[in-house]
Every structure is written in C-alpha cells, then in structure tokens.
Amino acid sequence: MKIDQTSGIPLYKQIESYIRQEIESGKYDDGSFLPREQKLANKFGVSRNTVRQGIANLVNEGVLKRTPGKGTVLAQRTITTKLSEWHSFRNEMQKKGITVKDYFVKAEFEYAPGEVYQKLNVNKDKKLFKLERLRGDRIAPFVYFVSWFHPRTQLDENEDYTCSLYTIIEEKHSVVPVYSEEELDAIEADIRIAEYLQIEKNKPILFRKRLVLDAGERPIEYNLGYYRSDKFKYSIRFERK
C-alpha cells in the first residue's frame, strides 16, 4: 500500500486502514509484533507521529496492545455478551464484527439425558433431535454447543445448520423463540471439551444452560454451552428500584 499524499483522507487514517487489512489477513495471528513505528514511517514516507496516531486508534479500540520494551502486538480478543439481551449466536457475533466459523456441525436423533426430557417436558421413550456445533472465529474455536429440541420444532438432519438456527425454526417451522431461562457456572474442562476448545484439560471454562421457550412459555430447546473463559465473558446491568 502506498500513502496518497493528495487524498482527502488523513495520512494517519490511511495507515490505520492498512494495518487493519494486515490484521484481517491473519498476518499477526501467530503473536508476531508489528514493525516498529520508525520502520513504518520510513516505509510510508511520513513522520513517526503520523504512524503513532494511526496505531493509537487501534490500541484504543483494543485491537492492538502495546508492550513496553517489545513493541505492538495483536491484542487477545475477548467477547462480551449481555445477559439482558438475547440473540441468535451468529447474529450477535455479526453485530460485534466477528465472522463465525463452524469447526464442526453434527445433527442426529438420540436418547437424551434425563434432565433434557424433564426440561423439554417430553416422555423418555423417544429419541430427540440433537445438534452439536463447535464454533469460533477464523483463529480458533471458542464455544461448543449441544442443543436438544422438542419434537414440536420438526427439526431433522436435513437442514443447513451453518445458518442461523432460530431463522430456520421461525421461517420454516413457524416456531418462534421468545423467552430464555439461563444458568451460568464455572467448571473445569474435561478431556473431550478441552480438545474441542483447544485448551488444557481441567482449565476453567464458562458453562451455560439455556432453556428456550415460545410465547406460550412452552419449551423449544435445551442448550448447553461451553465457552473458553479467555475468549468469552458475560456482563449484566441491573436497575435499582
């Protein structure tokens, strides 16, 4: 990229844009440091202060992190979701500028654990539709979902579950999710979950149980979510009454 000295776009903004493109290409995903400010200044034919201003915006956004004595590196990204808001996971990530990657999707009918039948208010003598998804960004997986569905949803193995799940349920099966009841806990990752999330065994993770209900408060889905604690956190805001 060359800096356009005649453009109406400020020079530091052009440099900022260039660095963003480098980051999005995955160039610094391995933890390597950005070139020194003076080196970038020489490359673009601008002052060091101009480069510093372009980098500063990315640091303030939390995209980059300055390390004293070492340089500037890609910051570890932590995703924050609010308990007071509930969206389709894919839609929520898109609003945060994160493109979701499905590392695997597995759909089948199985007999479920007893708790699932109780939550969905279904007899234990039938198999339920189960959907497993390991999801993350282009760098690494950060959440493993296991969902069990009430037969009323009429879901089966023939859907494209890389798309928005709730869009499929609403538009194709006329079942509208309205309410969500959630439980959060901190647990240790067992061998299987650790392998999925690419972390060490027994490392703390965020474990979430979610019961999804329709407008009549009838159960639709019982979902278990296992989140990497270094990649994901929940926030909640209360109003004093």
- Tell me the per-residue pLDDT of 111-160, one tens digit each, with 9 for 90 and over: 999 999 999 999 998 999 999 999 988 888 999 999 999 999 999 999 99
pLDDT tens digits, 182-205: 898 999 999 999 999 999 999 999
Segments making up each domain of the chain, as ranges = 11-74, 79-235
User: 79-235: which CATH architecture?
Assistant: 3-Layer(aba) Sandwich (3.40)
Structure tokens that stand for 223 in this block: 């979902």
Q: Decide yes or no: CATH 3.20.20.220 for domain 11-74.
A: no
Which carries the bigger pLDDT value, residue 161 or residue 77? Answer: 161
For residue 196, report the phi and psi dihedrals to the nearest 5 degrees: -60, -45
For residue 106, report the phi and psi dihedrals to the nearest 5 degrees: -130, 125
Whether 207 shows a pLDDT value over 90: the answer reads: yes
Q: Are 13 and 54 in contact (CB under 8 A)?
A: yes
Average pLDDT (18-37) is: 80
Whether 229 shows a pLDDT value over 60: the answer reads: yes
Q: Hey, CA dihedral for 154, 157, 158, 160, is it positive or negative?
A: positive
pLDDT tens digits, 57-101: 888 877 888 888 788 887 766 544 544 445 566 666 666 566 778
Average pLDDT (169-185) is: 88
The residue with tokens 């900022």 is 16
Predicted confidence at residue 236, as pLDDT, reads 62
Whether 102 shows a pLDDT value over 60: the answer reads: yes
